[in-house]
Amino acid sequence: MDKARMLQTIDAIYAARKKRDVPGMLALMADGATFRFAGEGAMEGAFATSGAMPFHEAISSLDSTVDMTGVENVTTLVDGNRVAAIWNCDVRFPGREAFTTQIFNLWTFAEDGRISDLTEFVDTAKLAGELAAVGAGVQLEPDMASEAEPG
């Protein structure tokens, strides 16, 4: 797998994401590509899923719920057909203030150079709090609710 091609594909995914170009993102995904949120499960609950879900469903749901206006790569590591990356992202939920957060992505590439899987680690407390505030189906535990509320 060509390192430069994998990094170009990820850059193209984020360029399309910032433009809300779902078909552009899906064109870079392998048939049957999957997405999953890592962590304790609050994010999965917001998107009515458990474990990996089809990428096209995940990105359609995310695109309608979260506006990602800025994405800056902090660091990237390539190992075989996988790319690990940390990103600073400016995000906004409907009716809420924008904020900057970090995400960690682990991308897996298929033989044809398209993405076959994305596992995403996020600030679960913050994002789950934002989702709950916009009524996106997240039920916070009492201790998480106090963490997610602005101070």
Tens digit of pLDDT for each residue in 75-89?
A: 999 999 999 999 998
CA atoms of 128 and 140, how far apart (whole Å): 7
The Cα 122–Cα 68 span in angstroms is 14
* Of 59 and 11, the one with more pLDDT: 11
* More confident: 20 or 53: 20
What pLDDT score does 151 carry? Answer: 41
What's the pLDDT at 61?
67
Interval 86-144: pLDDT, tens: 999 888 877 888 888 898 999 999 999 999 999 988 876 777 777 777 765 543 344 43
Q: In the prediction, which pLDDT does 52 show?
A: 58
Order the strands of the 82-92 sheet from edge to edge. Answer: 53-54, 29-37, 115-121, 99-109, 82-92, 67-79
Pick one of 3.40.630.10, 3.10.450.50, 3.30.70.141, 3.40.50.720 as the CATH number of 3-148: 3.10.450.50
Q: Which residues pair with 119 in a beta bridge?
A: 36, 106
Predicted local distance difference test score (pLDDT) of residue 106: 96
Provide the pLDDT for residue 147: 42
Question: Where do the structural domains in the chain lie, given as residue ranges?
Answer: 3-148
Round to whole Å and give the CA distance between 78 and 105: 12
1-16 pLDDT, tens digit each: 799 999 999 999 888 8
Higher pLDDT, 22 or 107: 107
pLDDT at 91: 84
What's the DSSP call for residue 52?
A: -
Q: What share of the chain is helix, strand, coil (3-state, %, to 5)?
A: 35, 35, 30
Which helix (H) or strand (E) segment holds residue 132: the answer is helix 124-133
At residue 149, does pLDDT exceed 60?
no
